[in-house]
Amino acid sequence: MAAAFTVRGLVKRYGPLTALGGVDLDVEEGELVGLLGPNGAGKSTLVKIGCGLVRASAGEAYVCGARAGSAEARAAMGYLAELFRFPGWTTADELLELHQRLAGSAGGAEERAELLELVGLEDARRRRVEAMSKGMQQRLGIAQALVGTPRFLFLDEPTSALDPGGRRTVRGLLEELRRRGVAVLLNSHLLSEVELVCDRVAILSRGSIVAEGRPSELARPHGVEVDVGGGTRLFAGAGREEAPRIVAGLVASGEQVYGVRVLETTLEEIYLEAVGDDTA
Amino acid sequence: MRGVPVVVGYALRESLRRRVFLVVLVLTAAFVALYWLGAQKAFEAVDESEPPPAAALAGIDTRTLTGATLFGLSMFGTLFLGVVLAAFLTLSVVRGDAERGLLQPLVVRPIGRAALLVGRFLAAAAVCTVYVLAVYGANLAITWSTGSWRPDRIVEPALELTAAVAVIAALSLLGSVVLSATANGIAVFMVFGAGLVAGLLGQIGEVLESDTLRDVAEVTSWVLPFEALYQDGLNAITADTSGFTEFALQLGPFGGAQPGGPFLWPWTVAYLLLVGVAALAAFARKDL
Ligand SMILES: Nc1ncnc2c1ncn2[C@@H]1O[C@H](COP(=O)(O)OP(=O)(O)OP(=O)(O)O)[C@@H](O)[C@H]1O
Ligand SMILES: [Mg+2]
């Protein structure tokens, strides 16, 4: 089966500005990939090309094997834009119904009820969009993206307006999507969130991927910290495999060992190192 | 094109919910009432007063003169209101909606951009057609009941007004692809105004027998066929009127209208298709 999303040598120029300078990226079937990067790095541009909203200057993008922007590609994906608005006069239920029609989904009232429950809006079914808070609209946006059970989802900062409870709901939702085999490309500035849910992260800076891999692969050992009778001792630069030797050495020299921690670089440190001075 | 009916339904519901139809209904009722009052008083004056001696001498039929002038005015009013409706239903469909983030969730759906634009056009055209025909019909009934005068042709002018408004809707949709809502609204009304002015220049040109003015009007009619349609419709309401009554009418603001000729309808259809293709091509290439 084709990868959920594939990008090869993708370039996007806006006049003299190069928003994407030759990006390669794969999101495998059922995989959850986090796309990180400073403001203006090109994350939304990449997603918009994938959705067919923006035309690439060069390179190729495929969604579930179909050329990005084609009807097949659009039928296979769901999208939550970074900046979106739904018409104020629709209710949550009507909006989902409209998208069911546009997507050709035969899910009916059952699908709508399930989606609203999934994002915690089951009580706002009849509420008009104009009477919803920003966060409620974002939840509705996520529900809208899931209409028609897409195989692949583009979520461009889906939690930017959510309260901590809402963020947690979305985390749970992403895990549920993973169980269902839906692949996701998630743009976010919330590193801790990405670290918690994503299988893989890619870091984009000035239109290029500067780091990519599983969070655990990207992490580098930072040192080993051991609690001994006299306090805490840090063995800087040591990794996990050296921990037994360190502990054995301490025990042999007569120390009492109460705890051992392997320290690794956090995603934040990896991120800041990868983007260097590109901080907006 | 499976998605077209969905988009049409969405557009109609949007107008309904945003009270567009309500506002239109109330204000049009006011316009029609005003026309009724005007027609009533005008025909009363025709019935009560003697025609000016010169007119009587020349055999000018003051009832026809009054009826045709009033009805010409009502056609201008209908066209204007239809254009307002067409413009506001379409002026922000692409760029305006995209800037507000309303468009993106819709166009990423499999129905595609072409279906979205076609659906929007059909919805606007349908609403405007019903509207123009209703207002035209009301004015016709008023003119007949207050003055026992009816235009020489009834169906033709109605269809031409409808087509003129559809042309404006198409131009406004094309404009909406490249221009933001405000700029497009201004552009549409300025184009409309320019077309009308060119038509009036042509009428003056007829009276003064100025070739230059006639040429300006001619070229404008091709470039902006809503103007030619409107003129042809005006011309048709007194198609069978002749003699000094016709001459007197030509001196009035609505009487000197030029017939469109045999190419008017084919060109209107071709024009709508050309504008449609241009709009679709521009929309297909647009980054949103
Ligand atoms: N329509 C446009 N015209 C011109 N330049 C644009 C346009 N859209 C984006 N850009 C530029 O392209 C670059 C990438 O923008 P993009 O929106 O992809 O960034 P991003 O990584 O999503 O940033 P953020 O985290 O702020 O959302 C930026 O420099 C931006 O100014
Ligand atoms: Mg962005």
DSSP secondary structure of A158-200: TTTT--HHHHHHHHHHHHHHHHTT-EEEEE-S-HHHHHHH-SE
Q: What is the mean pLDDT of residues A179-207?
A: 90
A8 falls in which pLDDT band (50, 70, 90)?
very high
Q: Which stretch of A124-133, A260-269, B76-85 has the lowest confidence by average pLDDT?
A: A260-269
pLDDT in tens, B101-146: 999 999 999 998 999 999 999 999 999 999 999 999 999 999 999 9
> What's the number of CA atoms in the CB half-sphere (13 Å) around residue A19?
19
Domain range holding B194? 4-285
d(CA A56, CA A36): 20
Picking from B2, B17, B108, the nearest residue to A51 by CB comes out as B108
Q: Token match 């003169």: residue?
A: B65
Q: Output the pLDDT for position B147.
A: 85
d(CA A169, CA A188): 16
Q: Which atom of ligand 1 is nearest to the CA of A47?
A: 18
pLDDT in tens, B30-71: 999 999 999 989 888 887 877 676 666 666 777 888 888 899
Give CA angle at A106 (A104, A107), nearest 5°.
Answer: 125
B159: left (phi over 0), alpha (psi -120 to 50) or beta: alpha
Closest approach of A217 to chain B, Cα-based (Å)? 35
Q: Which stretch of A127-131, A176-180, B156-160, B206-210 has the lowest confidence by average pLDDT?
A: B206-210
Specify the residue with its C-alpha closest to ligand 1, atom 7.
Answer: A14
Instruction: Give buried/exposed letters for A246-272 (b at 16+ CB in 10 A, else e).
Output: bbeebeeeeeeeeebebbbeebeebbe
Contact assignment for B288 to A101 by CB distance below 8 Å: no
Sign of CA dihedral A203, A209, A210, A213: positive
As given in the structure block, the two tokens for residue B66 are 């009054």
d(CA A120, CA A130): 18
Residue B10 sits at the chain A interface (C-beta within 8 Å): yes
Q: Is the pLDDT of residue A280 over 60?
A: no
Q: Output the pLDDT for position B221.
A: 84
Specify the residue with its C-alpha closest to ligand 1, atom 3.
Answer: A14
Neighbouring residues of the ion ligand 2, judged by CB less than 5 Å: A 43-44, 82
Which chain B residues are closer than 8 Å to A86 by Cβ?
Answer: 102, 105
d(CA A137, CA A145): 12
Give me the amino acid identity at A29: E
Q: Is the pLDDT of residue B220 over 80?
A: yes
Number of H helices, E strands in chain A: 10, 13
Q: Which ligand is nearest to the CA of A190?
A: 1
Contact assignment for B107 to A53 by CB distance below 8 Å: yes
Q: Which atom of ligand 1 is nearest to the CA of A204?
A: 21
Which chain A residues are closer than 8 Å to B17 by Cβ?
Answer: 89-90
Q: Output the pLDDT for position A269.
A: 80
Report how far ligand 2's centroid is from the alpha carbon of A242 (Å).
41
Number of H helices, E strands in chain B: 13, 0
How much is the pTM? 0.88
Picking from B6, B18, B107, the nearest residue to A89 by CB comes out as B18
Q: What is the mean pLDDT of residues A167-188?
A: 90
d(CA B197, CA B227): 9
Cα separations (Å) of A41 from A32, A202, B14, B98? 20, 12, 37, 22
As given in the structure block, the two tokens for residue B107 are 């166009």
Q: How many domains, in total, are found in chain B?
A: 1
Q: What is the dihedral of CA B251, B254, B256, B258, to 10 degrees?
A: 180
Report how far ligand 1's centroid is from the alpha carbon of A41 (Å).
7
Contact assignment for B287 to A55 by CB distance below 8 Å: yes
Give me the amino acid identity at B86: A
Picking from A75, A84, A87, the nearest residue to B110 by CB comes out as A75
Contact assignment for B105 to A84 by CB distance below 8 Å: yes
Output DSSP code: residue B51.
Answer: P
Give me the amino acid identity at A265: T
Residues within 8 A of A (CB atoms), B 238-277 only: none
According to DSSP, the residues that pair with A176 across neighbouring strands are: none
Q: Output the pLDDT for position B54.
A: 66
Interface list for chain A against chain B, based on CB atoms closer than 8 Å: 48, 51-55, 71-72, 74-75, 77, 79, 81, 83-87, 89-90, 98-99, 101-104, 141, 144
Q: What is the mean pLDDT of residues B152-164?
A: 93
**Interface probe with A: pick from B104, B285, B288, most Cβ of A within 10 Å:** B104
Contacts with A201 (C-beta within 8 Å, 6 or more apart), sequence order: A33, A34, A35, A36, A194, A195, A211, A212, A213, A214, A215, A218, A267
d(CA A184, CA A195): 14
Give me the amino acid identity at A261: R
d(CA B199, CA B227): 7
Closest residue, chain B, to A140 (C-alpha): B105
Contact assignment for A84 to B106 by CB distance below 8 Å: no
DSSP secondary structure of B82-133: HHHHHHHHHTTTTHHHHHTTSSHHHHTSTTHHHHHHHHHHHHHHHHHHHHHH
Q: Is the pLDDT of residue B200 over 90?
A: no
Q: Which ligand is nearest to the CA of A55?
A: 1
Q: Which stretch of A133-142, B214-223, B252-261 has the lowest confidence by average pLDDT?
A: B252-261
A33 falls in which pLDDT band (50, 70, 90)?
very high
Which chain B residues are closer than 8 Å to A101 by Cβ?
Answer: 6
Contacts with B279 (C-beta within 8 Å, 6 or more apart), sequence order: B117, B170, B173, B174, B177
| Mean pLDDT score of chain A | 90
Instruction: Answer yes or no: are the C-beta atoms of B75 and B161 closer than 8 Å.
Output: yes
* Terminal alpha carbon distance of chain B: 21
According to DSSP, the residues that pair with A33 across neighbouring strands are: A185, A200
| Mean pLDDT score of chain B | 88
Contact assignment for B110 to A104 by CB distance below 8 Å: yes
Cα separations (Å) of A6 from A50, A59, A181? 9, 11, 17
Specify the pairing of strand A221-228 against strand A5-14.
unpaired
Specify the residue with its C-alpha closest to ligand 1, atom 5.
Answer: A14
Mutation pick for ligand 1 pocket among A12, A43, A57, A206 (CB with most ligand atoms within 8 Å): A43
B101: left (phi over 0), alpha (psi -120 to 50) or beta: left
Number of residues that this document lists for chain B:
288
d(CA B119, CA B116): 5
Residues within 8 A of A (CB atoms), B 100-119 only: 100-102, 104-112
Q: Which ligand is nearest to the CA of A19?
A: 1
Which chain A residues are closer than 8 Å to B287 by Cβ?
Answer: 48, 53-55
Which residue, A238, A227, A244, is CA-closest to A263?
A238
